[in-house]
Structure 1
């Protein structure tokens, strides 16, 4: 349990939330952000086609990942200015550029709503 791993330790001990792993576990990344609060230091952005272990990536925000809600939650907890947000997309390994561009557009659009 991530909360148990960081609780009671120095405030510089935190966690990286991988939204793809969270969604594959049929859990809500926004709840994870709210639960971990200021212990969230990094985020891996990924959306999945299905909430199950064996699935594939989709353009972020087109399936289960609520980008606007996630970014609002990060703002609410005071996500650190030196925190990292990484886009992860692995569904088109031969030519991912067009899909990655779509993911970036989705992220920019969601951030504009925060």
Structure 2
């Protein structure tokens, strides 16, 4: 109960204080001092343009975005990519990765790696067909990028959980790993805290959400309202020394995700604060 009250107050404070930002200057985010960062997965804003995305991120004081191609198409010119980065810079946001990108052919893999290179990131969140993994291995060596396979729980046949991704990648280049989506991992009957501990050397990105049940029927909802043990998760993030981004991926009510996203960011940051030793 203490965490939920603190999270609520934290979220409301964030929204209120942003109105003062013009006169006081930007404030350091709540997770300052941690090795990991708090970000947002671009899919959260699938029904909104880049301007609304950046406006929301500024209000929440979140500065890291996983770039989806509906905000920056894979066909973008170099000039369009430069303009995109200027928009992000003006909002104090860094695009740290691209994806998830689905890949069903070698041509699609080539396209994804070239896109990431032109965007200027060195992390691809991808979902390649399993038979393409040897080719992904080759491209990782060629580009010196990290490749994080996004797991999807019981919704699609390939890469349902962290164990499955590990089994498919453990003998490949160590730059091939996973985007640990803790919600989907849970919905496939797994424990994301235990999986983070076991597979942390191959966890290059994390999608943060909560779910109602450890089954396919479990659905996504605001962080703190479901069954995931977030204090244990944050403590494990620290214990394994994860230095990547914990990107909030809010999938509930995508026509109007803003209050739910604010609640989720507030709760997650409250857990970060209240679990510090």
TM-score (normalizing by structure 2): 0.38
Partners of 1:9 and 1:94 in 2: how far apart?
40
1:87 pairs, out of 221, 243, 248, with 248
Equivalences for 1:61-76 in 2 at 5 Å?
61-76=224-239
**1:107 partnered with 2:241:** no
Partners of 1:21 and 1:96 in 2: how far apart?
19
Q: Is contact 2:196-2:237 (8 Å) kept?
A: yes
Partners of 2:213 and 2:167 in 1: how far apart?
28
Structure 1 unmatched runs, 5+ = none
Highest RCO, 1 vs 2 (Cα 8 Å, sep ≥ 6) = 1
Runs of 4+ that moved beyond 4 A? none
**1:96 partnered with 2:262:** no
Report what 1:58 is aligned to: 221
Q: Is contact 1:38-1:78 (8 Å) kept?
A: no
User: What secondary structure sits across from 1:14 in the alignment?
Assistant: strand
User: What secondary structure sits across from 2:263 in the alignment?
Assistant: helix
1:49-89 CA distances to partner (integer Å, 9 max, x unpaired)?
12221332121122211111111111111112xx2221111
Partners of 2:235 and 2:259 in 1: how far apart?
27
Structure 2 unmatched runs, 5+ = 1-163
Count residues with an aligned counterpart: 112
Partners of 2:174 and 2:241 in 1: how far apart?
14
Q: Is contact 1:6-1:14 (8 Å) kept?
A: yes
Report what 1:8 is aligned to: 171
Q: Given the superposition, is the C-alpha separation of residues 70 and 89 from structure 1 closer, same or farther in structure 2, using an over 3 Å criterion?
A: same
Higher share of residues assigned helix: 2
Structure number, greater radius of gyration: 2
Report what 2:190 is aligned to: 27
